[in-house]
Amino acid sequence: MRASGGKSGVTPMLKNITIGQYFRGDSPIHRMDPRLKLILVIAYIVLLFVASGIVGMLLCLAAAVAFYLIARVPLKMIVKSLKPIIPIILFTAILNAFFVEGDVLFSWWIFTVSKQGVLFAIVMTLRLIALIAGSSLLTYTTSPIQLTDGLELLMSPLKKIHFPAHELAMMMTIALRFIPTLIEETGKIMNAQKARGADLETGGLMQRIKALVPILIPLFISAFRRADELAIAMECRCYHGGEGRTRMKKLTFHLVDLWGLLVMAALFVGILTAVHFIPPITF
């Protein structure tokens, strides 16, 4: 771990993690209601698991690419969002290739690779790629605040069974609000401890983990103090939970949402029919 903190060293990192996910834009996909977008993403994931075979997956992936083009989000963002999960994709693919039984393609020692295994591995890989690409598009085209609003409203029927929908959304908002603040603070504490001679860069794993203690303790103490002050400030602004609360921005469905719904429905029918009629790819 590089210990260089400070604003310059830390802020770009944070932009990659959370807030930088969102691409400001004005495409039809950006303008769609976050609630509908959430539902459509779930529908897309369902479709990924219902449609089978390489043809189905390729069609789903093509649809995802088309959505990226409509949203004017650069396609290289798909690659970027895939990077962290490449090991998982490879692991799944290799595991499937070796363990699915069928017509033996070749075998060596205790390992056998079957034809079905290879096909299944390809389908799984494509499915995972489409899954990540599709769900990333949601965060690329929806601001965190819209996302939390959407989640809160979608979950609000669950309030009847005492599910804390508003509280969860509030927690998400506050977390999003304070991540940059705390990251900046971590940088400051690291610098302060380095100025006092803390060694964060050398030594074995255990030593480095131990070196984190003098950073985490002040960070936690400060976070608790912040929480306390924020709670008082929220009380001063008459916060008393979700009851009787109104919102400045009301979410409403527009024509673009209807189109979104129709496109997804068409995709469902189209891809499932295509999979049914196009013979599965084999070799």
Partner 1 sequence: MKQITVTDLSFSYEQDGKSKPILNHINLQFEKGQFVAVLGHNGSGKSTFAKHLNAILLPKEGTVLVDGIDTKDEEMTFTIRQKVGMVFQNPDNQLVATVVEEDVAFAPENLGVPPEEIRKRVDDALEAVGMSSRRLSAPHELSGGQKQRVAIAGIIAMRPECIVMDEPTAMLDPHGRRRVLAAVKVLKEQYGITVILITHFMSEAVLADRVVVLSDGEVLLDGTPRQVFSQGKILTDAGLELPQVTKTAELLKAQGVPIKGVPLTVEEFADAFYQALEG
Q: Which is nearer to partner 1, 246 or 282 (CB)?
A: 246
Distance in angstroms (rounded) separating the CA atoms of residues 141 and 206: 41
Question: What string marks each residue from 9 to 48 as x (binds partner 1 by CB under 8 A) or -?
Answer: ----------x-----------------------------
Distance in angstroms (rounded) separating the CA atoms of residues 123 and 118: 9
Q: List the one residue from 70, 176, 261, 263 that touches partner 1 (CB under 8 A).
A: 176
Question: Binding of partner 1 at residue 265 (CB under 8 A)?
Answer: no
CB of 139 to partner 1, least distance (A): 14
Interface region with partner 1, contact rule CB under 8 A, candidates 40-48, 195-203, 227-235, 263-271:
227-235
Question: Binding of partner 1 at residue 177 (CB under 8 A)?
Answer: yes
Per DSSP, what are the bridge partners of residue 112? 107
Distance in angstroms (rounded) separating the CA atoms of residues 197 and 91: 42
Distance in angstroms (rounded) separating the CA atoms of residues 131 and 165: 26
Q: List the one residue from 2, 162, 247, 276 that touches partner 1 (CB under 8 A).
A: 247
Residues in CB range of 139: below 8 A, 6 or more apart: 21, 22, 147
Q: Report which of 138, 133, 122, 145 is spatially closest to residue 52, judged by C-alpha positions.
A: 122
Residue located via tokens 């969860």: 168
Helix (H, G, I), strand (E, B) or coil at 279: coil
Question: Binding of partner 1 at residue 245 (CB under 8 A)?
Answer: yes
N-term to C-term CA, the chain: 47
Question: Binding of partner 1 at residue 237 (CB under 8 A)?
Answer: yes
Question: What string marks each residue from 133 to 152 as x (binds partner 1 by CB under 8 A) or -?
Answer: ----------xxx-------
Residues in CB range of 27: below 8 A, 6 or more apart: 70, 71, 72, 141
Helix (H, G, I), strand (E, B) or coil at 162: coil
Q: List the one residue from 66, 232, 278, 281 that touches partner 1 (CB under 8 A).
A: 232
Q: List the one residue from 91, 239, 253, 259 that touches partner 1 (CB under 8 A).
A: 239
Q: Which is nearer to partner 1, 96 or 148 (CB)?
A: 148
Question: Binding of partner 1 at residue 195 (CB under 8 A)?
Answer: no
Question: Binding of partner 1 at residue 171 (CB under 8 A)?
Answer: no
CB of 26 to partner 1, least distance (A): 13
The Cβ of residue 140 has, within 10 Å, a number of other Cβ atoms equal to 21
> Interface residues with partner 1 (CB under 8 A)?
19, 143-145, 173-174, 176-177, 180-181, 184, 225-226, 229-230, 232-240, 244-250
